Structure 1
Amino acid sequence: MMVSPKAVIGICAGVSATLFLGYCIYFDVQRHKDPDFKKKLRQRRRAKKQTCHKRPHTVFPDMKDHEAVQQFFLQEIQLGEELLAAGDLESGVDHLGNAVAVCGQPNDLLQVLQQTLQPQVFHLLIQRLPSVAPRLMKAQPAPNSSSLQEEDVE
């Protein structure tokens, strides 16, 4: 009786998958048996939480100063691209989100970014955009009543 090559390949794939799964389970059990596992896990989570809170806040330019906004936009795009190339997705996406927030035509920029970025990075950017707008609004000075009255008179 002759066994077909497809059957041999299927059996090899099944055995390989079973061995890999067993390997993963074995090392997961060994990791959990380590007496310092929970302590190390807590330390890593604390360190990550602290680095998230220590992230410097972006200083947005005055939106009325077109030249400052344009310079800020180019700076944020460049910094975002550099950080993404270096592998720092979190910071890179934050800077690209800042650029989208100050962009005059955000839909066009998002289309370009969708074509150039990896899909998971672009989805991360889309998820971060709602948190950028409130930071931008906080950074802008509140309009005083005298400037509103002057505009109303004209």
Structure 2
Amino acid sequence: MMTMLSPKAALGIAAGVCGTLILGYCIYFDHKRHQDPNFKQKLRERRRAQKEASAGGRRTKTDFPNMKDHEAVQRFFLQEVQLGEELLAAGDLENGVDHLGNAVAVCGQPNDLLQVLQQTLQPQVFHLLVQRLPNVGPRGGGPDKQMQEDDVE
């Protein structure tokens, strides 16, 4: 005598079988990867490269474009906004805020950009950005600003 399975039971069994196959596939290839004679060396190199990239990115001084070259400023602006958004999405708030600050520093209308960023960023991230702005770039607390303050005297 043959019994029929309900569609829900059949679907549950099929999902269980698929899940088991996927899990087995992952375990098999993870085991193969760990058996590779160069696995530990590659892992150390990858971690070292990531550590250097994250530490090096924070310490590197940003080279701002010539403010008279409109195309270079526009390219730099777009690059910094994109990089800042990518870093924020990846969870790297410090570097993401630094790059967005660079974009604000070269922006022709920084108040408009700040209003857009205030609406799109999380409040704590926007607050961090506003705190860093006085020390950013050619219009911030850089040497250009010092020269202007000295000229006023």
TM-score range, shorter-chain basis? 0.5 to 0.7
Match of 1:119 in 2: none
Structure 2 Cα separation of the partners of residues 109 and 70 of structure 1: 25
Tell me how far 1:129 sits from its aligned partner: 5.0
Match of 1:24 in 2: 26
Tell me how far 1:50 sits from its aligned partner: 4.3
Q: 2:102 aligns with which of 98, 102, 120?
A: 98
Q: What pairs with 1:4-153 in structure 2 (closer than 5 Å)?
A: 4-51=6-53, 53=56, 57-60=61-64, 68=67, 71=70, 74-80=74-80, 89=86, 96=100, 98-100=102-104, 102=106, 103-110=110-117, 114=120, 126=125, 129=129, 133=133, 136=136, 140-141=142-143, 143=146, 147=150, 150=153
Stretch of structure 1 that moved more, 51-60 or 11-20: 51-60
Structure 1 runs of 4+ aligned residues shifted over 6 Å read: 81-84
Q: Which structure 1 residue ranges, 5 or more long, are not aligned?
A: 63-67, 115-121
Residue by residue over 1:95-143, the C-alpha shift from the partner in whole angstroms, topping out at 9 and shown as x without a partner, is 555214553334433267x4xxxxxxx78xx599589658616861263
- After TM superposition, the score normalised by the length of structure 2 is 0.54
In structure 2, give the amino acid aligned to 1:99: A
- After TM superposition, the score normalised by the length of structure 1 is 0.54
Matched residues, number: 128
Asked if 2 retains the 8 angstrom alpha-carbon contact of 1:97 and 1:129, the reply is: yes
Structure 2 Cα separation of the partners of residues 6 and 58 of structure 1: 59
Larger RCO, structure (CA 8 Å, separation 6 or more): 1
SS at match of 2:25: helix
